[in-house]
Chains A and B, each alone.
Chain A
Amino acid sequence: MALPLRYNVRNVLVRWRTTAFTVLGIAAVVTVFVLLRGMARGIERSSGNTGDPRNILVVRKGSQAESGSLVTRDQFRTLQYFEEIARNEKNEPVISAELVMIVSAPRRGAAGEANTLLRGVTPRGMELRPQVTLKEGRWFTPGKREVVVAQRLASRFAGFELGGTIKAGPDRLTVVGHFDAAGSAFDSEAWMDADECRSIFDRDMYSSILLRPRDEAALTNLVARIQADKRLSLRAEREVDYYAKQTMTAMPIKILAGILGVAMSIGAVFAAMNTMYASVAARTREVGTLRVLGFSRFAIVLSFLIEGTFLAMLGGLLGSLLAWSVYAVVLLRGINFGTMDFQSFAETVFQFRVTPDLMLLGVLFSAAIGFVGSLLPALRAAQLPVISALKSL
């Protein structure tokens, strides 16, 4: 039978001065770990949260992103007459040919320039994205050099306020409204009239086509039909699937979280190990006494493992709470974060998220640190010769 848990808990608490630094060290590691994972989660969520499962997005075959895709007017015309496409009350096909361009704009606070996505969108395209709602000002007027930008994007760029201007090719666009895209990828975009956009950039082609099939069967048919049509040479997939694949943007942060996580956890393991070795050394006679009373070597190993893991989990809990506090402050202040999308090289705005499952992951991460860190000290405690342990001061 194992030693009572209160024995371990009290030993950690009674040595609080020596264990406090280890707890704080592990807390710092877990805070950084949870925050980085939270950022990756935020980016993934903004991509994963985008699109309507009833929509199909069409890009050029071989293109990974809209910004690198070209769809000709002929291809658009061909698609327009496919009978699988739903029709609105005016009997028009629900299909939108759009242009996605990258424009450079100054960041707020004179922090240099960054790219942002400018989408030339049609009235059908706006109907197909009901999650995008106007929050301030008005929508752009077709045929005018006007633009409506995402509220979250506006908070990061200079000149994106109402009445401000954005440089687009040789012209400047006036910001007439702000929209909210409910945490989706459109929160990183600026929208203008599609024809006007083609005119400014002197483009004869589109970037992508968004359409709504009549029903689920029509959707399946249409995807298969477009994919199989060698003449079209286009790639079609559900809009939601397209955006789910764009989570590549989170990869650099995930890699950073991984590298930092490994490097810092090695340090934290040594901190835990040091504390536990000191604890074993200070309790040599106690270990000898327990062995004399009949506790097995396994019970001693288990006891020190539990203690080291508990100690580290205190740090993990503290770290997770610290990360959550940072998240709470960010939420209260409405701060948005941005990173570069490695496919379009444009700014992606996201809100990092510290969720309960990430906090739990942080605590489990700390438990692993504690377990690994206390393994060798625990084995050493169990190997202590009973008689010399009893004679220890």
Chain B
Amino acid sequence: MAAPPPVSIVVVRDLSKIYRQGDINVTALNSVSLDIAPGEFVVLMGPSGSGKSTLLHIIAGIDQPTSGSAKVQGIDIARLNQSQLADWRNQNVGFVFQSFNLIPVLTAAENVELPLLLTNLSRKERRLQTQTALELVGLADRGHHRPDQLSGGQQQRAAIARALVTDPALIVADEPTGNLDAKSAADVLEILQSLTRTAGKTVVMVTHDPKSAAYGSRSLHLEKGELVNDAK
């Protein structure tokens, strides 16, 4: 008999992360537990050093916890090695960064296509998926432009298309509007919001900005590595 689908897409239990800085141990996360359901738009807030980025990085599989577990779609990612994590990230998570992190020598379409190069898709299928992702973010006619030929907002939309192109269940965004003007920021947040509402994606976003946080369906507040508030 098949197992029932997990209720939560992200399950975090007693998660701690301690960094060593010289002779001092710095606790970035202290026994954090939380569940995130599919389709939620979760906003992580808190002052600098509160541990929100660390939590995001662990959920996204680019950092490892010191103790506790972080399961995403039923997989305890703390148990995966570097190579398994790389594959897992490619197939399960889409990333959006504050500074867009597009490869400057590649066009927008080539940037969006990058994660697909690690899949078994044919060239034609890759091109089709890339075009679909660019259309979703309203950049269908800008695919052949290099990043330096696009505005900040357009670059971030290309980055969202890159995050979407492998059709991951989870999208993580680290201050995605930090480098954008108000109008572009609103465009980007609306796209992320619509992804949760229309495509059923789960978005976890770190932000400092309360206006950006308002787009989320749930807000988690961290302070000194601990979850202090969970508001829906």
Question: Which of A's residues lie within 8 Å of B, judged by CB?
Answer: 1, 3-4, 6-7, 10-11, 14, 285-286, 288-297, 386-387, 390
CB atoms of A11 and B105 under 8 A apart: yes
Consensus secondary structure, chain A interface: helix
| Further pairs besides A7-B105, A289-B103: 7, Cβ < 8 Å | A286-B101, A286-B104, A293-B114, A295-B118, A296-B83, A386-B62, A390-B101
Tally of chain B residues near chain A (CB < 8 A): 25
Whether A294 and B57, one on each chain, are in contact in the complex, defined by CB atoms closer than 8 angstroms, is: no
Bound Cα distance A222, B101 (Å): 81
Interface 9-residue window, one of B1-9, B31-39, B87-95, B212-220: B87-95
Contacts A294-B118, A297-B82, A387-B57 given; indicate if A289 touches B101 (C-beta within 8 A).
Answer: yes
Known: A10-B106, A294-B89, A390-B101. A3 touches B82 (CB 8 A): no
B62 touches A7 (CB 8 A): no
Contacts of B60 in A (CB 8 A): 292
Contacts A1-B118, A386-B62 given; does A295 touch B101 at CB 8 Å: no
Q: B86 at the A/B interface (Cβ < 8 Å)?
A: yes
Report whether over half of chain B's contact residues are helix, strand or loop; otherwise say mixed: helix
Bound-state CA distance A6–B106 (Å) is 8
Contact residues of B between 135 and 176, Cβ < 8 Å to A: 162
Q: Report the bound CA distance from A4 to B126 in whole Å.
A: 13
Q: Chain B residues near A288 (CB, 8 Å)?
A: 101
CB distance B101 to A294 under 8 Å?
no
Q: For B110, list chain A residues within 8 Å (CB).
A: 4, 6
Whether A292 contacts B89 in the complex (CB less than 8 A), given A386-B62, A387-B63, A390-B97, comes out as yes
Contact with A along B53-79 (1 / 0, CB 8 A): 000010010110000000000000000
Chain B hits for A4, CB < 8 A: 110, 117
Of all chain B residues, the one with the shortest Cβ separation from A298 is B83
- Contact of A295 with B103 in the complex, beta carbons under 8 Å: no
From B89, B97, B105, B162, A14 is in contact (CB under 8 Å) with B105
By a CB distance below 8 angstroms, the chain A residues around B95 are 292-293
B178 close to A (CB within 8 Å) = no
Which residue of A289, A290, A295, A297 is within 8 Å of B97 (Cβ)? A289
Residues of A within 8 A of B104 (CB): 14, 286
Interface residues of B in 106-150 (CB under 8 A from A): 106, 110, 114-115, 117-118
Distance of B196 from chain A, by nearest CB (Å): 21
Using A387-B62, A390-B97, A390-B101 as known contacts, say yes or no to A293 and B90 having CB atoms under 8 A apart.
yes
Q: Is the beta-carbon distance between A7 and B103 smaller than 8 angstroms?
A: yes
9 A–B contacts, CB within 8 A, in A order: A1-B117, A3-B117, A10-B106, A286-B103, A293-B89, A293-B95, A294-B115, A295-B86, A295-B118
The answer to whether B89 touches A7 (Cβ under 8 A) is no
User: How many angstroms from the CA of A328 to the CA of B118 in the assembled complex?
Assistant: 48
Least distance between A285 CB and chain B CB atoms (Å): 6
Rank and list the top 4 A-B pairs by shortest CB-CB distance, nearest first. A294-B90, A10-B105, A289-B101, A294-B118
